[in-house]
């Protein structure tokens, strides 16, 4: 009997080795390429012929612009391409796992943690560029008495360093939990006769609906938190 | 009768995983608090419904992530030493 964790195994499809580095194409890389190709072709078709694809794309862009305008108080237009591509990548990566026999690449800790660390480093570099060395005022909020400094600074540093870890871990665990629950109920449904096995099957349908809501919500939360971190390192809160 | 060390370790892992489930109590209380504030906010000020709902969804996702961190620790205890 296969275990519920078998669906997350990454295997090589095409072996490539460049100067001793292993950059073989795995199944997770194939799905990342599928997702990027989907978005690019959707965008090209929508812009060249103004049909439904154009309006879906416009709705997505307006949604992300809403997020940016609410969280980044001014000069938010320069971050829109980055936030939009991040949103579409994470959203499509989460949703493509609902198709049977496919692979959710955001359920790999490597991918979500790398994405989160990149977004966090972007916010740190933006803060350093805008504020110079005064960026480190973020660990010591203005107006606190000096004798609180030995307690406040370690606490602020720890909470600052835990931002990328929690960002990546949140996306990873949400995706893994949904998929494991579905597989466990599927195994339960197989153990009984078909007449009794229909009950876990209906539960699986409800779980898939819930999991698609969680996919959308987690993509939204990822982009909202990235925008908040950029804003908090820009005006030092 | 004596218990072999592997069986003892597996027993201890499972007991630890069960005790770790106590962490979900706090998450349940926190989620209830968020939606209580959302419902009373919409009841007092119906014109601000969109803002309140957006803030409640962000709060829900952030609190739910604590529950999932606990779940991750439990899975690590059972399956990875």
Q: Between A173, A217, A220, which is nearest B72 by CB?
A: A173
CA distance A163 to chain B (A): 12
Q: Chain A within 8 Å of B61 (Cβ-Cβ)?
A: yes
Q: Between A169, A177, A217, which is nearest B61 by CB?
A: A217
Q: Is the pLDDT of residue B24 over 90?
A: yes
Q: What is the pLDDT confidence band of residue A1, given thresholds at 50, 70 and 90?
A: low
Beta carbons of A173 and B57 less than 8 Å apart: no
pLDDT at A114: 94
CA distance A61 to chain B (A): 18
What the block records as the tokens of B23 is 């962490």
Q: Between B58, B64, B65, which is nearest A166 by CB?
A: B65
Q: What are A86-89's contacts with CB under 8 Å, separation 24+? A: A86/A115, A86/A119, A86/A222, A86/A223, A86/A226, A87/A60, A87/A63, A87/A219, A87/A220, A87/A222, A87/A223, A88/A39, A88/A60, A89/A35, A89/A36, A89/A39
Mean pLDDT along residues A219-229: 94
Tokens 């592997």: give the residue. B6
Select the residue from B31, B67, B68 to test the A interface by mutation, using most A Cβ atoms within 10 A: B68
- How far apart, in whole angstroms, are the C-alpha atoms of residue A92 and residue A134? 38
Respond yes or no on whether ipTM tops 0.90. Answer: no
Q: Between B61, B69, B72, which is nearest A218 by CB?
A: B61
Q: Is the pLDDT of residue A221 over 90?
A: yes
- Chain B nearest-CA residue for A221: B58
pLDDT at A117: 95
Strand partners, A22: A17
Q: What is the pLDDT confidence band of residue B16, given thresholds at 50, 70 and 90?
A: very high
Q: What is the pLDDT confidence band of residue B39, given thresholds at 50, 70 and 90?
A: very high
Beta carbons of A177 and B64 less than 8 Å apart: no
A127-151 core/surface letters (b: 16 or more CB in 10 A; e: else): beeebeeebeebbeeeeeeeeeeee
Residues in A whose CB is inside 8 Å of some CB of B read: 166, 169-170, 173-174, 177, 217-218, 220-221, 224
pLDDT in tens, A85-133: 999 999 999 999 888 888 899 999 999 999 999 999 999 999 999 888 8
Beta carbons of A173 and B69 less than 8 Å apart: yes
- How far apart, in whole angstroms, are the C-alpha atoms of residue A171 and residue A94? 9
DSSP helix/strand/coil, B17: helix
Beta carbons of A169 and B65 less than 8 Å apart: yes
């Amino acid at each position: 009997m296969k275990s519920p964790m078998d669906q997350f195994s990454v295997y090589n499809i095409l072996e490539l080795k460049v100067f001793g580095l292993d950059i073989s194409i795995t199944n997770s890389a194939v799905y990342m390429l599928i997702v990027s190709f989907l978005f690019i072709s959707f965008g090209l078709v929508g812009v060249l012929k103004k049909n439904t694809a154009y309006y879906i794309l416009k709705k997505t862009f307006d949604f992300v612009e809403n997020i940016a305008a609410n969280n980044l108080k001014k000069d938010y237009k320069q971050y829109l391409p980055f936030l939009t591509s991040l949103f579409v990548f994470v959203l499509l990566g989460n949703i493509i796992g609902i198709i049977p026999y496919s692979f959710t690449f955001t359920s790999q800790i490597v991918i979500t943690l790398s994405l989160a660390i990149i977004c966090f480093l972007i916010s740190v570099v933006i803060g350093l560029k805008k504020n110079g060395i005064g960026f480190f005022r973020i660990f010591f909020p203005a107006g606190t008495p000096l004798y609180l400094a030995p307690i406040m600074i370690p606490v602020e540093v720890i909470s600052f360093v835990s931002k990328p870890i929690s960002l990546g871990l949140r996306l990873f665990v949400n995706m893994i939990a949904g998929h494991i629950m579905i597989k466990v109920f599927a195994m339960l449904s197989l153990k009984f006769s078909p007449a009794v096995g229909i009950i876990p099957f209906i539960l699986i349908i409800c779980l898939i609906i819930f999991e698609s809501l969680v996919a959308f919500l987690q993509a939204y939360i990822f982009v909202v938190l990235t925008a908040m971190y950029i804003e908090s390192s820009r005006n030092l809160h | 009768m004596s218990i072999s060390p592997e069986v003892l370790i597996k027993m201890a892992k499972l007991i630890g995983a069960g005790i770790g489930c106590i962490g979900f109590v706090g998450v349940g209380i926190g989620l209830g608090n968020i939606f209580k504030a959302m419902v009373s906010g919409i009841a007092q000020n119906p014109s601000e419904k969109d803002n309140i709902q957006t803030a409640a969804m962000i709060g829900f996702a952030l609190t739910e992530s604590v529950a999932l961190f606990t779940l991750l620790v439990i899975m690590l205890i059972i399956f990875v030493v």
